[in-house]
A and B are shown apart, each in its own frame.
Chain A
């Protein structure tokens, strides 16, 4: 039993915290509000690359640090704490990690060094409309064509699809699932820009009879397990991001209420205020522990479906509750766009809903329980 961090994990956490807390300022974040500019700080991206952090979980032979998923999740948590304008989850967790895990030697050589040094972006399309089960695509199909594929279908709200060099996505091929790397510039690809609640660059993706060469096929026919692998890590990373964001929104609230005076005293001294903040503290602690448990199981390549599912349910519930407690305890300041809290609220909402919301998670967990797959150990 060890709830502590290793020295290596502390190093990654401190380095990430140092860079991000210094570089992500309210002034910079304001530039991206309402899609005035593409929400991507390329200078900061280059800085993370120089510090080696983009390659934190990429093998040393491809220019990374060769650390594990836990260290990567700690980086993502810090990005959540600052709501940094960086595509860390879509690029590193949902695309680069799967390439490292499932690709052949040439594909790894082609994609990983550039992913680790930030030369180009990768992303993944994990959702189809109302359908968030990445392992079983319903709206996307592939037909064999020579040694490649022709794929048709659609994906929903793909982050950084236009900016990426390749989009990892799953299609049905016969009875199986095939995972490919789609070039967004290929003929037959249509990207429709989405204005999402948190201002991240996102696109609805449609592809009609798009040619995918053999070299861009990641897993042929047996991709359901791979997509499960990817979805679990992506979900766990969203939980880590949510943890950072919720923790920060809560601490902002604690500081604000300690300063704000009414009736001649700080409003934090009112028990009703302190207790609502204390509820946030308990919530955030539950999210923290469930997230770290899921991440550490994934890091050790152990079965973690139930634990990831539970962490995501907490991420949804805690994000929602902390967001509204923080807004409420801030009074008007919480919704004033000149004060930094509101941006956190939109990210808490995004993380709550993406890759399976709490109600979906509970239904799915309930089905595993009924199957006898989720007894307490």
Chain B
């Protein structure tokens, strides 16, 4: 048992930190701030291409697929550092869908799409949820029907985040309506957003972040747009979600937020002249966050270690997701209380405190990952079944 990074891993962290500090010039930072952490602007795109040229995309992919072959622990360090710098890195494309295409994709996908992902020139959105299908994802109704050498796609997806500036949607479609079980009739397609039958309309969320409803109207794609085998898409969906879940919960940004709030409270004086940090309830709030962050750190590190060792337990992965997503909300609340009314002031206000206005926004975005990436109820079902061997009700 040794809970610290090796000298090489610390050196790698320094390398990443220097790289991103250098990359995040004030103009890029301003553009990213304006995009509320989702990217998509011209400077953001140029930075992504530069990262492609510098070999900073696909760092966890095997070397033979064009990546850097870093272990999950090293990828975890990468994620922490890129999040620390504030660049909205397109993880879904590069860490979640990309490696699956590189591994399971056909020749066309490997030649046309994979190199562009690694070059920072191709962005992919995820198309799973529909108006009537969320947690019960296998019930999707969007169809792909074979017509000669082509597939014809019709339907609607919800919450297709980043789709408005993506090149493709990684789309789950029903290809066998008569399959014995619903999840056995699903196939995956790479659908180009440039197709005239594709359209999207914005959905603005509480946190200010845009997501989309996307529409698929008689889109014809060739056979090579299908990923993997016909009616074998479910495995791709679940393994993509597993990969996604692991990058949802991170330690670095929360630790940084805690440290900044402590410094803020050390420097702030109440009208009475008393230092904010000396107020007993302020210390209590900070201590609660500190104790919780330590657990978050250990859950994240253990997960990265277990992945590197190849022995990640399902219940542990779900526990980290539930704990992290719910702790973030609690953290924003407790730190927001320390910051007081300033934590209600939007960043666009002249003279708004940068730290407090960050909390103002984070508090509005925090619920996304308690239900996103596999809702916490389902995660708790997994924990009680896989971690405690409790029988589960059939659904």
Contact = CB atoms under 8 A, between A and B. Distances in A.
Contact of B284 (A251, A257, A293, A362): A362
B305 A363 contact: no
A366 B2 contact: no
Interface in A328-377: 361-363, 365-367, 369-370, 372, 374-377
Contact of A363 (B280, B301, B383): B280
B152 interface: no
Interface stretch (A131-139, A141-149, A204-212, A277-285): A277-285
Interface of A: 1-6, 9, 70, 250-251, 254, 257-258, 265-266, 268-271, 273-275, 277-279, 281-282, 285-286, 289-290, 292-293, 295-296, 306-307, 310, 313-314, 361-363, 365-367, 369-370, 372, 374-377
A271 B377 CA distance: 8
A304 to B, nearest CB: 11
Contacts of A307: 294
Nearest to B318: A278
Rank and list the top 7 A-B pairs by shortest CB-CB distance, nearest first. A366-B283, A376-B255, A289-B298, A274-B384, A254-B388, A278-B380, A366-B287
| Most-contacted residue by chain B among A285, A313, A372 (CB, 10 A) | A285
Nearest to A307: B294
A72 to B, nearest CB: 13
B315 interface: yes
Question: Max chain B CB contacts within 10 Å: which of A268, A282, A313?
Answer: A282
Nearest to B394: A269
A265 B319 CA distance: 26
A3 B297 CA distance: 13
Contacts of A376: 255-256, 258-259, 290, 293-294, 297
Chain B interface, DSSP helix/strand/loop, else mixed? helix
B2 A296 contact: yes
Contact of A365 (B287, B381, B389): B287
Main secondary structure of the interface of A (DSSP, over half): helix
Contacts of B304: 1
Nearest to A259: B391
B283 A281 contact: no
A352 to B, nearest CB: 15
A140 to B, nearest CB: 29
Most buried by B among A1, A4, A273, A290: A1
B306 interface: yes
Given A275-B384, A367-B283, 18 more contacts: A1-B73, A3-B301, A3-B302, A254-B390, A265-B393, A268-B390, A278-B322, A278-B384, A281-B387, A282-B383, A285-B316, A293-B294, A296-B2, A361-B291, A366-B287, A370-B277, A372-B266, A375-B259
Nearest to B389: A254
A271 B266 contact: no
A15 B5 CA distance: 31
B309 interface: yes
A355 B387 CA distance: 31
B383 A1 contact: no
A362 to B, nearest CB: 4
B384 A369 contact: no
Nearest to B383: A278
Contacts of B393: 265, 269-271
Nearest to B9: A1
Contacts of B299: 285-286, 289
Residue from B6, B377, B387, B392 whose CB has the most chain A CB atoms within 10 Å: B387
B286 interface: yes
A286 B6 CA distance: 23
A239 to B, nearest CB: 13
For A279, A314, A363, A369, the residue with the greatest tally of chain B CB atoms inside 10 Å of its CB is: A369
24 contacts: A1-B3, A1-B9, A1-B73, A1-B304, A254-B388, A268-B390, A268-B391, A269-B390, A269-B392, A271-B377, A274-B381, A281-B315, A286-B295, A293-B298, A296-B2, A310-B294, A314-B295, A361-B291, A363-B283, A363-B284, A363-B287, A367-B283, A370-B278, A375-B259
